[in-house]
Amino acid sequence: MSKFEYALHATDGAARVGTITTPRGEIETPAFMPVGTAATVKAMLPEHVRQTGADIVLGNTYHLMLRPSAERVAALGGLHKFMNWSRPILTDSGGFQVMSLSKLRKLTEVGVSFQSHIDGSKHMLTPERSIEIQCLLGADIQMQLDECPAMPIEHGDARESMLLSARWAERSKAAFEEKANPGQALFGIVQGANYEDLRHESLRRLMEIDFDGFSVGGLAVGEGRAEMFRVLDFTTPHMPIGKPRYLMGVGKPADIVGAVARGIDMFDCVLPTRAGRHGQAWTKIGPINITNARFAEDPEPLDPESACPASRDYSKAYLHHLVRAGEYLGPMLLTWHNLQYYQDLMSGLRAAIGAGALGDFIAEFKANTGEELV
Amino acid sequence: MSKFEYALHATDGAARVGTITTPRGEIETPAFMPVGTAATVKAMLPEHVRQTGADIVLGNTYHLMLRPSAERVAALGGLHKFMNWSRPILTDSGGFQVMSLSKLRKLTEVGVSFQSHIDGSKHMLTPERSIEIQCLLGADIQMQLDECPAMPIEHGDARESMLLSARWAERSKAAFEEKANPGQALFGIVQGANYEDLRHESLRRLMEIDFDGFSVGGLAVGEGRAEMFRVLDFTTPHMPIGKPRYLMGVGKPADIVGAVARGIDMFDCVLPTRAGRHGQAWTKIGPINITNARFAEDPEPLDPESACPASRDYSKAYLHHLVRAGEYLGPMLLTWHNLQYYQDLMSGLRAAIGAGALGDFIAEFKANTGEELV
């Protein structure tokens, strides 16, 4: 079985439940993908990532190309074997992080040249090289190289940037067809900032090239939740029904709930892992900071009813102690708990959509967290 | 069943195999106790500590009395519940770490006054207070407060220090009889530096007081392996046969093998955990530094035949990458591997002694590691 397929099972309003089938296993959608930047979901054992319910993890092309390098990962049998994760992996193109992390970057029609933030070494990332790297890593789902401009941006500049991304999409597709193995998938990335006409034009151009899935890029860059949802409102209704839709880099639980309601199928975000390393735990009533003095003698676990050991078997007082004392186990347990929270959120959303009860789910989520979902 | 008992099963020369029975479970000896200083074996989940074969862990009274405090741990149900470890726990008296870590310490007949290295707060540790703390923590095996002088030390000074420890032993025993629960145990600590007559006198005084087990203290403080073994050679033959013998703070694998051959039953050391956090892995042929460039493309795991996932499921190249990239998973996996190595060493020693084949075991250990065991 070497096909990549998306099957839509049920809808509730714009929200969708489906399954992505890959040669390395199925991905139930809506799906949250834990971020494994440098070939590890930080502070997690891979078997525990899986135990939370994650069907797929994300790897960062930018980090991996610099250390240990795509060629070395390939020589060692590919990213799955390297990080001891046998299920699907999605890699980004590297473009976003080149622009945010590297030094002396220069963007031209050909691609982006830059210096490594680790050792200053010089590199060039083109659409073709990005695909080559993602194939060397062995990513099951690969992303085209794109440009992700900051907002606010003038319409003219936004269109120019979107057209560059569209040309890179075409080059990415050509490189992918040459290099990829059967069953691997390539996603195009819809750009166009917060302009409806540009998002539509971007999507139309990508659909002409034809991709296995479509990402919405250029959001979650500081525009705010209401603006992000406004862009989704005029974008997702035009996206193909039979292909997965991925909102990149999103987000907080409330962002995810609102985006699922608007028809998004896939998410990734460093929030649950990063928050876990900084003493923050996500709970049914929202995030708490475990270092707060009020938890110092709290004998209750984060979630006594959870099947996750990290949520169930350790008191808040103990977690408070661990984080205050700078012990490894604090980030380890809080990260695990947060990833479980996120996966439980996704399975709750899937069940609610399947039962035609997303409205109730959202009402309860709002009541518990006090979050606005617009 | 609320008794503390030691049963001797077999000997091979001076070496012994036995079982310590406690209300919280059995401890097979010779035993290595992973160090869980601040209520956590650093970078380890408690279930994985157990999975390596550890029957007992050690907690540090000095650290726990300062943070989160013995009273808070007691209010939260004791150290076992706090750290989610249901099997036996041994605590030290706090004395050694007061002298090595705290500020402005002052030693008198009454005890040691000192300032916390964490926040500068003032504390007093007496034999009675140490036992009180260890009882609040709920330690299954407790240690008397003692003074551990640096070597070299003059005979007269060494005797004075040993006599102070002996007086503290008596006060510790009285406090323990008043505060402890049935089944909890108290160990006396043999001092006397490297003087045979003082070690004998110390032991005789402790045996008169009567303890559940006897520790050899004041070693592994820089005197060297040969000198440590020389002290053991004239000490252990005089220790009671029917009680466990604990060599505190030891050690490297070769130290342990040599001390087991000299009749020691219990060990603790930060080495496997600390080394794991610094990129060092213990293997059958000795320690390796995983950050060394020669491991960058090594596809082999640390021990393909191990039952331990950390030793078996990740290549040296991956571990190299993780440690170089500063990822949490590097210390997590290397610590786990090192603890497995230590527990495998202990079970190997127990099997060899039981089979009357300790000589062969030691010969093989020497041949593999190139270590001198004197």
Render pLDDT for B26-73 as a digit per residue (tens, 0 to 9).
999 999 999 999 999 999 999 999 999 999 999 999 999 999 999 999
**CA separation, residue B45 to residues B40, B52, B205, B311, B345 (Å):** 8, 11, 41, 16, 21
To test the contact with chain A by mutation, choose from B69, B329, B336 the residue with the greatest count of A C-beta atoms within 10 A, namely B329
| A150–B contact, CB cutoff 8 A | no
| B107–A contact, CB cutoff 8 A | no
User: Residue A87 corresponds to which amino acid?
Assistant: R
Mean pLDDT of B108-119: 94
Task: Test A76 with B44 for CB contact under 8 angstroms.
Answer: no
Task: Test A42 with B328 for CB contact under 8 angstroms.
Answer: yes
Alpha-carbon distance of B147 to B165, in angstroms, equals: 6
Q: A324 near A292, Cβ under 8 Å? A: no
Alpha-carbon distance of A72 to B289, in angstroms, equals: 20
The answer to whether the peptide bond before residue A182 is cis (omega within 30 degrees of 0) is no
Q: Can A303 be counted among the known catalytic residues?
A: no
Alpha-carbon distance of B319 to B334, in angstroms, equals: 8
ipTM for the complex shown: 0.98
| A295–B contact, CB cutoff 8 A | no
| A84–B contact, CB cutoff 8 A | yes
Residue with tokens 């900071």: A289
Task: Test A38 with B331 for CB contact under 8 angstroms.
Answer: no
pLDDT of residue A50: 98
pLDDT at B77 exceeding the cut of 90: yes
Q: B191 near B148, Cβ under 8 Å? A: yes
Question: Which B residues in the span 256-275 are in contact with A, Cβ-Cβ below 8 Å?
Answer: none
Task: Test B77 with A324 for CB contact under 8 angstroms.
Answer: no
User: Residue B326 corresponds to which amino acid?
Assistant: G
The answer to whether the peptide bond before residue B152 is cis (omega within 30 degrees of 0) is yes
| B45–A contact, CB cutoff 8 A | yes
- Please report whether residue A47 resides in a domain: yes
| A66–B contact, CB cutoff 8 A | no
pLDDT of residue B63: 97
pLDDT of residue B374: 64
| A315–B contact, CB cutoff 8 A | yes
Q: A327 near B38, Cβ under 8 Å? A: yes
- Please report whether residue A305 resides in a domain: no
Number of domains in chain A: 1
| A238–B contact, CB cutoff 8 A | no
Q: List the single residue in A with minimal CA-CA distance to B298.
A: A76
pLDDT of residue B99: 87
| A39–B contact, CB cutoff 8 A | yes
pLDDT of residue A373: 82
pLDDT of residue A56: 98
Task: Test A38 with B327 for CB contact under 8 angstroms.
Answer: yes
Domain enclosing residue A201, as ranges: 5-268
Residue numbers in A near B50 (CB within 8 A): none
Nearest to A72 among B68, B77, B297 (CB): B297
| A83–B contact, CB cutoff 8 A | yes
- Please report whether residue B248 resides in a domain: yes
Task: Test B296 with A72 for CB contact under 8 angstroms.
Answer: yes
From the CA of A318, how many Å to the nearest CA of chain B? 6
Q: List the single residue in A with minimal CA-CA distance to B328.
A: A43
- Please report whether residue B368 resides in a domain: no
**CA separation, residue B205 to residues B166, B266, B369 (Å):** 7, 21, 39
Please give the radius of gyration of chain A, using alpha carbons only, rounded to the nearest integer. 20
| B43–A contact, CB cutoff 8 A | yes
| A17–B contact, CB cutoff 8 A | no
- Please report whether residue B200 resides in a domain: yes
To test the contact with chain B by mutation, choose from A67, A117, A327, A333 the residue with the greatest count of B C-beta atoms within 10 A, namely A327
Q: A69 near A63, Cβ under 8 Å? A: no
Task: Test A317 with B72 for CB contact under 8 angstroms.
Answer: yes
DSSP structural state of residue B294: G
Across the A:B interface, residue pairs with CB atoms under 8 Å apart total 102
Nearest to B328 among A39, A43, A82 (CB): A43
Residue numbers in B near A329 (CB within 8 A): 40, 42-45
Which residue ranges of chain A lie beneath pLDDT 70?
A: 1, 374
pTM: 0.98
Report how far apart the first and last C-alpha atoms of chain A are (Å, whole number).
Answer: 42
Q: What is the CATH number of the domain that holds A244?
A: 3.20.20.105
- Active-site entry in A12, A92, A140, A212: A92
Q: List the single residue in B with minimal CA-CA distance to A336.
A: B45
pLDDT at B1 exceeding the cut of 60: no
Comparing C-alpha atoms, which of B296, B338, B339 is closest to residue B319?
B296
Q: B342 near B54, Cβ under 8 Å? A: no
Q: How many CB atoms lie within 10 A of CB A195?
A: 19
What are the counts of helices (DSSP H) followed by strands (DSSP E) for chain B? 15, 16
Compute the mean pLDDT over every residue in chain B, rounded to the nearest whole number: 97
pLDDT of residue A1: 54
Residue numbers in B near A332 (CB within 8 A): 43, 45, 328, 332
- Please report whether residue A324 resides in a domain: no
Burial-class residue B3 by CB neighbours within 10 Å (0-12, 13-18, 19+): exposed
pLDDT of residue A111: 97
- Please report whether residue A351 resides in a domain: no
Task: Test B45 with A332 for CB contact under 8 angstroms.
Answer: yes
pLDDT of residue A2: 74
From the CA of A87, how many Å to the nearest CA of chain B? 15
pLDDT at B324 exceeding the cut of 80: yes
Task: Test A43 with B332 for CB contact under 8 angstroms.
Answer: yes
| B84–A contact, CB cutoff 8 A | yes
- Please report whether residue A309 resides in a domain: no
- Active-site entry in A12, A212, A255, A268: A268
Q: How many CB atoms lie within 10 A of CB B115?
A: 14
Question: Which A residues in the span 321-340 are in contact with B, Cβ-Cβ below 8 Å?
Answer: 321-322, 324-325, 327-329, 331-332
CA dihedral A362, A367, A369, A371 (to 10 degrees): 70
Alpha-carbon distance of B339 to B347, in angstroms, equals: 12
Residue numbers in A near B324 (CB within 8 A): 67-68
